[in-house]
Structure 1
Amino acid sequence: MFLWALIVGLSFPAVGLMSEGLPPLFLTAIRFAIAAAAIGALVWRTPDHWPSPPGLVLYAVMGLCLAGFFGAMFWAAHQVTALSMATLYVSVPLLAYGLGRIIRVERPDGGLLAALALGAAGALWLAWAGNSGGNGSLQFSLGEAAFFLGCVASALYPVLSKWGLKRGWLSDSAALRTFWSLLAGGVLIGILGLAFEPAQALARLTFFDFLMVAYLGIFSSGVTFWLMQRGTGVLTPGAVTAYTYLVPFVSMLILFAAAPDEIGWLWLPGSVAVVLAIGLMLRRSANAPREAPAMQT
């Protein structure tokens, strides 16, 4: 999950390097196709690789969650900063815990809820610091709102994975679960692209853009969701997504290296809150094997 956080943190600046005006739905479909092809080549010869009918429906819903998040990311890439997207993405653990409680894949846990709320508060402060320009005014544009809805979809993905695993609808293989959800999402988002986006807009796709899409497909989609599925098999959705708290620091380091003058004391309160939340989650992770060996097994 540390590796997952590093890859996700690097993906936000990578999206911002792509050309403007590219169709986000088509880009997401291509990204999913590349990721599914890379993982499919590794798992296709495994036994029982075909999902059951209920599992196929659930994979389609999970694929739409992925498509909603990545479509929002591509759409918002040139309207909000990479740091704003990274910090808003830190709301995912709290959202995952709340959604998990609703469908009963999370147990009541006041300590976990407090740590998640602290991290979410710090992330929102960092998002405000990144958009206020030091003038104290809160700016929350349409781009941030759209990306936040994408974060809700992203939070729902591990919750549905855990729900399907508990009912035996999904494969025990993390790679197979990743493959089918990416494949289903790619097909569905491609259909939406044909309905709502001009296909000729893909003519603007440069060779560099294609390399970026391939990188995001293989690493930021395929590898990261395989890692998340690995974690979902043994942890709750809230605990898995709690590693999101590491994501904004990757983007902050990139911003500091590129434009150190943009980071000032206004960032301190949010940074302290996120660091404390990370420390609490790491402490909980270290104590988890002794406190709940049955759950770990």
Structure 2
Amino acid sequence: MSIRRQPSSNVLKAHLGMLGWAVIVGSSFPVVGLLTQGLPPLQLTALRFAIAAGVLWPLVRLPSDRRPGLRALAVYALMGLCLASFFGAMFWAAHRTTALTMSVLYVSVPFLAYLFGRMLALEPRALDLPLILGAGAAGALALVWAEAASSGGSVRFALADAVFFAGCIGSALYPVLSKWGLERQLLSRSAAVRTFWSLAAGAVAIGVLGALAEGAGALARVTLRDLLIVGYLAVFSSGVTFWLMQRSTEVMTPGAVTAYTYLVPSVSMVVLFWENPALVGWQWLPGTMLVAAAIALLAARDTRGQLPARGHR
């Protein structure tokens, strides 16, 4: 399959989209905290994905390739399983390990995506991207430890951490499978169609897992307020963010797409500063500067067209 350069305007739009992705994801964590305690997280996630898929349905009816073939359905099913593995592992490990340990492990996602991309020839042979990812990882880890210094958290590794790391592998595989399917023209050219089918498959997989682990009547305590919060998260933190990721995957490599997860702690820092300025001090500065430099280098690298992007639009 031939490799061609993408127009710099398309690449810039993709990077700006992923910047918006990081802002939405980072600002969604306080919203999740508004949900009633004790609700079944897996079934709530399945409901959230189902609502997001329903919102996208009007856009899905327009493209001619909206109905996937058997091979495409298999890829979407694998993508849905990736989502289920990550969210399932995250919710299972949440009460068995520390938030700091999970944050440290999650920093591995861009490197994992890059490695899987290299294995499938989706990433070009170059040293600059690994170096940029390394700088971003160092900055993200510095932010994680700055937050730990403010809250008194600690890092430890146990069985729950191994389970969550397996979920991180699933998260890293999601954009890799999407890029792989695009390269082989198995998946739809429409980012909305790809988002819809991956969310629908993820809703089914997480819903089955939630019914088995949490019981059929676990959602009985959901209030109207909870449904409104889940609806907001479904539209913005699921539908919009996955659409932005799918759109960016067309012109960016998996490692570059997932590198924007390094920005999420910076957004959380801004939220923390807004809520309690006294908790944010100089210790946040090194990590913030490293992450900002890494993202700027990443955007400049792709926009200048130094490395060709693979795939089609």
User: Normalised by the shorter chain, which TM-score bucket?
Assistant: 0.7 to 0.9
Matched letter for residue 191 of structure 1: V
Deviation at 1:241, TM superposition (A): 2.0
Change (3 A) 1:175 1:169: same
Query: Aligned pair 1:139/2:175, yes or no?
Result: no
> What is aligned with 1:189?
206
Q: 2:182·2:189 contact (CA, 8 Å) conserved in 1?
A: yes
Deviation at 1:164, TM superposition (A): 1.0
User: Of the candidates 99, 112, 116, which is equivalent to residue 99 of structure 1?
Assistant: 116
- For structure 1, the 5+ residue unaligned runs are none
Query: Aligned pair 1:35/2:52, yes or no?
Result: yes
Distance 2:144 2:157 in 1: 12
Deviations 1:261-280 (A, max 9, x none): 22233333322322221222
Deviation at 1:33, TM superposition (A): 0.5
TM-score scaled by length of structure 1: 0.87
Deviation at 1:95, TM superposition (A): 2.1
- For structure 2, the 5+ residue unaligned runs are 1-17
Q: 1:88·1:124 contact (CA, 8 Å) conserved in 2?
A: no
Q: 1:22·1:202 contact (CA, 8 Å) conserved in 2?
A: yes
Matched letter for residue 131 of structure 1: A
Distance 1:5 1:152 in 2: 19
Q: 1:84·1:130 contact (CA, 8 Å) conserved in 2?
A: no
Query: Aligned pair 1:201/2:218, yes or no?
Result: yes
> What is aligned with 2:32?
15
Q: 2:113·2:255 contact (CA, 8 Å) conserved in 1?
A: yes
> What is aligned with 1:54?
71
May I ask how many residue pairs the two structures share in their alignment?
Answer: 294
Task: Tell me the secondary structure at the aligned position of residue 199 of structure 1.
Answer: coil
Distance 1:187 1:295 in 2: 29
Q: 2:179·2:311 contact (CA, 8 Å) conserved in 1?
A: no
User: Of the candidates 284, 298, 304, which is equivalent to residue 287 of structure 1?
Assistant: 304
Q: 1:231·1:240 contact (CA, 8 Å) conserved in 2?
A: yes
Matched letter for residue 195 of structure 2: T
> What is aligned with 1:121?
138
Matched letter for residue 139 of structure 1: V
- Report percent identity of matched pairs: 56
In terms of fraction of residues, the more helix-rich structure is 1
Query: Aligned pair 1:170/2:187, yes or no?
Result: yes
Distance 1:47 1:293 in 2: 25
Deviation at 1:59, TM superposition (A): 0.4
Query: Aligned pair 1:238/2:255, yes or no?
Result: yes
Q: CA RMSD in A?
A: 2.8
- Structure 1, 94-103 or 264-273: larger mean CA deviation: 264-273
Change (3 A) 1:71 1:220: farther
Change (3 A) 1:282 1:87: farther
Change (3 A) 1:33 1:148: same
Deviation at 1:223, TM superposition (A): 1.1
Change (3 A) 1:266 1:76: farther
Distance 2:271 2:105 in 1: 17
Change (3 A) 1:217 1:14: same
Distance 1:30 1:72 in 2: 17
Distance 1:295 1:37 in 2: 28
